[in-house]
Amino acid sequence: MTYSATCLLGVEGLLAQELRDMGCEEVRAENGRVIFSGGWDILARVNLCSRFAERVGLLMGDFHAESFEELFQGVKALPWEEYLGREDGFPVSGSSLNSRLHSVPDCQAIIKKAVVESLKRSYRQDWFTEDGPTHRIRFRIMKDQVSVTIDTSGAGLHKRGYRPVSNAAPIKETLAAALLRLSRLRADGTFYDPFCGSGTLLIEAATMAQNIAPGIGRRFQAEVWEQTPGGVWDHERDRARDMERRDTSFTATGYDIDPAAVELARENARRAGVKVRADVRDIKDFAEATAYGCVVCNPPYGQRLSDQRAARDIYRQLGRVFVPEKGWSYGIITPEEDFEALFGRKADKRRKLYNGMIRCQFYQYFKAI
């Protein structure tokens, strides 16, 4: 079977390598997604264990369409009877960008009609109750190229289950994991986030260091499908638990000036089943308490706090407290174009990423002076 794993822009390479490491075959990175193949076990494994994928879809087909008739015929020709039962629900949702078929509601209606016509032919019936397990059909039309999938994840994979409540400007779990992987977080290392907020970076760092599967505590849509072979999901959960490294010497410490955020970070860590330390502390008081460490942070943005001047003062402060010493690395994600000038040093490495709809740069400093 062929699958499509969507991801944040700029994360495609990380996701592709992660999928190869999981045993996926025919891995191919594209813009905003990675295509791969495998059996039902791979489907369960990727949903449970991927830190970077937003969701995983069963890829039904890709084709070109510039008219509603081409869209209808392209969808109708796909093998829906292989994955949709007589009573299964199949709602349709999707997006269109830079395409002649730009009306998403119209495309939804056409695709729904095409699937119904295909199933009528396969099951020799005219009415479908759709009161069985949900098989959500998702489509993406980009530059007149149509991609149609059946969603297997349900809720987005960034929803790990440990953060029912967050602070005002949280970082997405999948983006946090990407920043940590780019920072080459060590399983026996020491991690710091001086703007920890609700604790997302702390928790993602701890679960990554201990190799705890991000989806181990949640459920997925494909688990209830009749087509899914029995025992696959239980087997993959057992496999994921066997690969955990709970005895690591890794430590994660976070600071924030908001006591409520600190308490929320502690509660979220307890919910995630990991140990982290979170304390109330201002960034100006940040000091290196260990011989080596990895710092990754998502400081306040002027756009979000309506206070660009305060944000720029924070960036200047970071340049003073993040001392370039051997054994230490610092990673800061921000949309501030003048960050390096405010920080006081050119980054050793930088990478374009998106935090939600905000275009950012991830600035990395790891060379001692």
Residues 200-213: pLDDT tens digits? Answer: 999 999 999 999 99
Q: Express as a percent the part of the chain with pLDDT over 90.
A: 88
Residues 6+ apart with CB under 8 A from 182: 14, 331, 351, 362, 364
Let me know the angle formed at the C-alpha of 72 by 66 and 74, rounded to the nearest 5 degrees. 80
pLDDT at 306 over 80: no
> What backbone phi and psi angles, to 5 degrees, belong to 117?
-65, -40
- State pLDDT tens for residues 79-116: 999 999 999 999 999 999 999 999 999 999 999 999 99
Distance from C-alpha of 306 to C-alpha of 302, rounded to nearest angstrom:
5
pLDDT at 305 over 70: no
Let me know the angle formed at the C-alpha of 210 by 324 and 25, rounded to the nearest 5 degrees. 100
Paired tokens of 143 = 């530059």
Distance from C-alpha of 313 to C-alpha of 322, rounded to nearest angstrom:
14
Please give the model's pTM, rounded to 2 decimal places: 0.93
pLDDT at 369 over 80: no
Q: What is the mean pLDDT of residues 4-25?
A: 97
Assess contact for 81 and 122: CB atoms under 8 A: yes
Neighbours of 220 (CB within 10 A): 22
Distance from C-alpha of 172 to C-alpha of 95, rounded to nearest angstrom:
21
Of 251, 213, 249, the C-alpha closest to 233 is: 213
Distance from C-alpha of 199 to C-alpha of 192, rounded to nearest angstrom:
11
Give the model's pLDDT for residue 303.
Answer: 59
Give the model's pLDDT for residue 288.
Answer: 79
Length of the chain equals 369
Q: What is the mean pLDDT of residues 149-173?
A: 87
Give the model's pLDDT for residue 186.
Answer: 92
Paired tokens of 334 = 């921000």
Confidence of residue 123 (pLDDT cuts 50, 70, 90): very high
Which residue has tokens 């688990």?
223
Q: 252 has which bridge partners?
A: 191
Q: How many H-runs (helices) and E-runs (strands) does the chain carry?
A: 11, 14
Q: What is the mean pLDDT of residues 336-365?
A: 94
Confidence of residue 304 (pLDDT cuts 50, 70, 90): low
All domains in the chain, ordered by first residue: 2-151 (3.30.2130.30), 173-213+246-365 (3.40.50.150)
Paired tokens of 25 = 């075959």
